[in-house]
Chain A
Amino acid sequence: MRRPAIYLGVAALLALGTLLLPGGDTPAGATAPAPPAAAAPAAPACTPVVGGLRPQGALPAPGAMPAGSTMAAIVAKGRLVAGVDQGKFTTGYRDPQTGQLQGADIDLVHQIAAAILGDPDKVQFVVLDIADRAQALVDRRVDVVVNTFTITCERQKQVEFSTPYLAASQRILVTRGSGVGEVEQLAGKRVCTSRGSTTETVLRGLPLRLDVVTYTGIPDCVLDLQRGRVDAVSSDEVILAGLAAQDPQTEVVGRTLVDASYGVGVNKGQTDLVRFVNALLERSRADGSLAAVDRKWLSVLKPVPQPAAARYRD
């Protein structure tokens, strides 16, 4: 008699237990922690190479290059392979309407092609990432790099530069009407530049307590400037000129913070090509064609930067 009651009592308790227990597994929330950013080791101090390779003899006629030289190989290939950029207004950018590359650097590439091959359009443009410019020359993927390639000590270890063809002074870009004329007026404010550049080092070194923000590229800085998230952008004057030309509400101001210059990059072993380019640049400086290119593209800068006189080391 008691047994059914016992059965029922136990069963009822167990049944109550199974109904009350929460069912199912809680999904495991796996969050992968972000890997810590590795800090780049500081580069050891570097002794810069001053001066380019002196041109030897007169410039050969287009198409008639000395046998066995790099230029003869280019003539045999039928085109000059040049590493350029497609996003820098006025120096190297792609016109969305025509799909063609245009700019001051592009004009220089056409001049080099005309001097070697006789036809300025016999060029194959290869668009390079900023970080890839030196490696592209080392790997011989391109013959020359004309891409606002600043001559720095670090890069001189990997590639050979021609004599400077344009000054790369570092200045600042601010909103028009902000009243800022020099970097000192930005004390305590936010300034943006590209990560790992010499500008970043210089800005951090100034005794102005600047809040330095860095991005991969300078145009990203301009996006922040337009949205009011930073007060100024600092970089090469020529690059800033291109950005100021696209946004008339900005202007390039201030004195030169760092003096640098752009050169044509060439593979370290191809010294004959370097001398050829240097000879071409000598001629362009002398006959004013280089200055004309600068005036055509960089008139937003006042004064228009002029190419410095060449110095040679041999």
Chain B
Amino acid sequence: MAVPPAAGQRRRVPWSGSSTPDRLRRVGVVVVAGCLIAASVSLVSGLARVDAVNEGGGRVAAITADAAELYRTLADADASATTGYVSGGVEPAAVRARYDDDITRASTGLVSAAGRIPGGDAAAASVATVAAQLPAYTGLIETARTYNRQGLPLGQSYLTSASTLMRTTILPAAAELRRIETAALAQDYASGGAFPFGVVLLGIAVLAGLVDLGVREYRRTHRVLSPGLAAASGLVVVALVWWVVVTAVAGSALSDARQRSDASTAVDDARTAVLQARSNESLVLVARGGGAANTQFVAQLDRVLGPGGLLDAAAAGGADVGAVRSAAQDWQAAHQEVRKRDDGGDYPGAVASVVGNDPNGSNVTFQRLDAALGAAVDAQRAAFTAAIGRAGGAQTLLAAGPAVLLLLAAGAVVSGVGRRVGEYR
């Protein structure tokens, strides 16, 4: 039963050993310390998450996009070089320009990737392989071109040698680079969406301390809550709820982003497989007997179109692959016509399909397929960026907000306990 104390008199209270004000102060200090610790843990965790999604994620995302682009431009260069050869003595200017552009972009992408990756990183070895072998590749292609201009078939062997180098050494290294960077990005985002155990545990502990304090006071004084403690409890609850809601929203946005990233990788792989198949189609036409066989074309397209293949994986990640699939089937039919003509001895007819402008020919259907794949990749990348934007938006003020609330809660505890202690003077 509460008895307002007379001024200046100390009341003896039935508590074990210590005086009430001292006890209150002790508990108050512990709870305030808890709030401060929770505020600092919240600040640190919040900063780490914001960094993982925005800046750290931005840097790794840029490298991943670079690595994917490198992978594609290398395969495109090989396809351009081999197709140019099919045309005969001097390749068409457009094909030559595309090859030169691809090599320039691949070299530039390589330099920027090498600049961003710290030395000793696992990805540095892949970058070194591509950087060392790309000049060897371009050297072989130029030698093939020189022999072709002179009308000598030794160029076919150089072309086959170059294409083999690209297929067996350079492209796998570029794929490895992309794989490493994609894994690092996934790791960054996973940490961004993980449940904030530290903050939640501390918050619950502080809340438990406040509730305990409130329950004891109630038992003793039958006064339910002091405004200070009530405010503190409310602030701690709001901070915890903030954390949980942001984690849920950001987590779902990040997992959507991850799905889009996987779909984007699958479409990228499909694009490169299609380019490799195009390269193989040209190589078999000009350099058969040197190891190029149509089985590789069939294998690459099967990887793309077959059940459980790359297009299926992309569709599972949310990509719209209907247009791509039908374009791929058109190209497959055109290619079979090319094979029929070549095997039947109609070489000029086969060449016309591979480099000409027949709307049902291999060249035109391939360009359509390449464009469809490009559009699919762009759509996936845009969706990915939007999802990351959503996650970043959900995390606004995550670093500062709950920390400020917890500091205010500490202040409220101080004022609440201080007022209560003051009642005992």
Q: In the assembly, what is the distance between CA of A19 and CA of B161, in Å? A: 53
User: Would you mind naming 17 contact pairs between A and B with Cβ atoms under 8 Å apart?
Assistant: A1-B26, A4-B212, A4-B213, A5-B30, A8-B209, A11-B202, A24-B190, A25-B187, A87-B287, A87-B290, A89-B152, A89-B154, A96-B148, A126-B343, A128-B289, A223-B161, A243-B154
Neighbouring A residues of B418 by C-beta, 8 Å: none
Neighbouring B residues of A5 by C-beta, 8 Å: 30
Q: Known contacts A11-B204, A86-B153, A127-B342; is A97 also within 8 Å of B89 by CB?
A: yes
Q: Known contacts A87-B156, A126-B345; is A217 also within 8 Å of B205 by CB?
A: no
Query: 0/1 per residue, B186-221, Cβ < 8 Å to A?
Result: 110011001001110110111011001100000000
Besides A11-B202, A96-B88, 7 other CB < 8 A contacts?
Answer: A7-B208, A19-B45, A19-B198, A87-B290, A94-B347, A96-B155, A97-B89
Q: Is the CB of A129 within 8 A of B289?
A: yes
A133 smallest CB distance to B (angstroms): 10
B251 smallest CB distance to A (angstroms): 13
Q: Is the CB of A124 within 8 A of B27?
A: no
Partner of B348, one of A14, A99, A127, A216: A99
A87 smallest CB distance to B (angstroms): 5
Q: Is the CB of B293 within 8 A of A4?
A: no
Q: Is the CB of A8 within 8 A of B37?
A: yes
Partner of B345, one of A11, A14, A125: A125
Q: In the assembly, what is the distance between CA of A88 and CA of B157, in Å? A: 10
Instruction: Kindly identify, within residues 47 to 98 of chain B, every residue whose CB is under 8 Å from any CB belonging to chain A.
Output: 88-89
| Main SS class of interface, A | mixed
Neighbouring A residues of B347 by C-beta, 8 Å: 94, 99, 125
Q: Known contacts A96-B89, A124-B344, A217-B291; is A18 also within 8 Å of B197 by CB?
A: yes
Neighbouring B residues of A125 by C-beta, 8 Å: 345, 347
Instruction: Kindly identify, within residues 138 to 175 of chain B, every residue whose CB is under 8 Å from any CB belonging to chain A.
Output: 147-148, 151-158, 161
Asked if A73 is at the interface (CB within 8 A of a chain B CB), the reply is no
Query: 0/1 per residue, B313-351, Cβ < 8 Å to A?
Result: 000000000000000000000000000001111011001
Neighbouring B residues of A95 by C-beta, 8 Å: 151
Asked if B382 is at the interface (CB within 8 A of a chain A CB), the reply is no
Instruction: Kindly identify, within residues 1 to 40 of chain A, every residue whose CB is under 8 Å from any CB belonging to chain B.
Output: 1, 3-5, 7-8, 10-12, 14-16, 18-19, 23-25, 27
Q: In the assembly, what is the distance between CA of A27 and CA of B151, in Å? A: 50
A8 smallest CB distance to B (angstroms): 4
| Main SS class of interface, B | helix
Q: In the assembly, what is the distance between CA of A142 and CA of B179, in Å? A: 47
Q: In the assembly, what is the distance between CA of A10 and CA of B199, in Å? A: 13
Q: In the assembly, what is the distance between CA of A96 and CA of B343, in Å? A: 19
Asked if A165 is at the interface (CB within 8 A of a chain B CB), the reply is no
Q: Is the CB of B289 within 8 A of A85?
A: yes
Asked if A166 is at the interface (CB within 8 A of a chain B CB), the reply is no
Asked if B33 is at the interface (CB within 8 A of a chain A CB), the reply is yes
Q: Is the CB of A129 within 8 A of B293?
A: yes
Neighbouring A residues of B205 by C-beta, 8 Å: 4, 7-8, 10-12
Neighbouring A residues of B342 by C-beta, 8 Å: 127
Neighbouring B residues of A247 by C-beta, 8 Å: 154
Neighbouring A residues of B286 by C-beta, 8 Å: 86, 94
Q: In the assembly, what is the distance between CA of A216 and CA of B37, in Å? A: 71
Neighbouring B residues of A126 by C-beta, 8 Å: 343-345
Neighbouring B residues of A94 by C-beta, 8 Å: 153, 286, 347
Neighbouring B residues of A15 by C-beta, 8 Å: 41, 197-199, 201-202
Instruction: Kindly identify, within residues 46 to 95 of chain A, every residue whose CB is under 8 Å from any CB belonging to chain B.
Output: 81, 85-89, 93-95
Asked if B23 is at the interface (CB within 8 A of a chain A CB), the reply is yes
Task: Give chain B's interface residues, CB within 8 Å of chain A.
Answer: 23, 26-27, 30-31, 33-34, 37, 41, 44-45, 88-89, 147-148, 151-158, 161, 179, 183, 186-187, 190-191, 194, 197-199, 201-202, 204-206, 208-209, 212-213, 286-291, 293, 342-345, 347-348, 351
Asked if A222 is at the interface (CB within 8 A of a chain B CB), the reply is yes
Neighbouring A residues of B186 by C-beta, 8 Å: 24
Q: Known contacts A11-B202, A99-B347, A219-B156; is A24 also within 8 Å of B288 by CB?
A: no
B307 smallest CB distance to A (angstroms): 21
Partner of B153, one of A12, A23, A88, A124: A88
Q: In the assembly, what is the distance between CA of A85 and CA of B158, in Å? A: 17
Q: Known contacts A8-B37, A8-B205, A129-B289; is A97 also within 8 Å of B88 by CB?
A: yes
Q: In the assembly, what is the distance between CA of A25 and CA of B258, in Å? A: 15
A45 smallest CB distance to B (angstroms): 29
Neighbouring A residues of B31 by C-beta, 8 Å: 4
Q: Is the CB of A4 within 8 A of B37?
A: no
Q: Is the CB of B157 within 8 A of A219?
A: yes
Q: In the assembly, what is the distance between CA of A99 and CA of B201, in Å? A: 77
Q: In the assembly, what is the distance between CA of A219 and CA of B159, in Å? A: 11
Q: In the assembly, what is the distance between CA of A59 and CA of B201, in Å? A: 102
Q: In the assembly, what is the distance between CA of A64 and CA of B216, in Å? A: 122
Q: In the assembly, what is the distance between CA of A11 and CA of B30, in Å? A: 13
Q: In the assembly, what is the distance between CA of A86 and CA of B343, in Å? A: 13
A88 smallest CB distance to B (angstroms): 7
Please name the residue on chain B nearest to A216 by beta carbon. B291
Neighbouring A residues of B155 by C-beta, 8 Å: 96
Q: In the assembly, what is the distance between CA of A285 and CA of B336, in Å? A: 43
Asked if A220 is at the interface (CB within 8 A of a chain B CB), the reply is yes
Neighbouring B residues of A99 by C-beta, 8 Å: 88, 347-348, 351
Neighbouring A residues of B202 by C-beta, 8 Å: 8, 11-12, 15
Q: Is the CB of B44 within 8 A of A19?
A: yes
Partner of B190, one of A23, A85, A243: A23
Q: Is the CB of B147 within 8 A of A246?
A: yes
Asked if A130 is at the interface (CB within 8 A of a chain B CB), the reply is yes
Neighbouring A residues of B289 by C-beta, 8 Å: 85-87, 127-130, 217
Query: 0/1 per residue, A116-133, Cβ < 8 Å to B?
Result: 000000011111111000
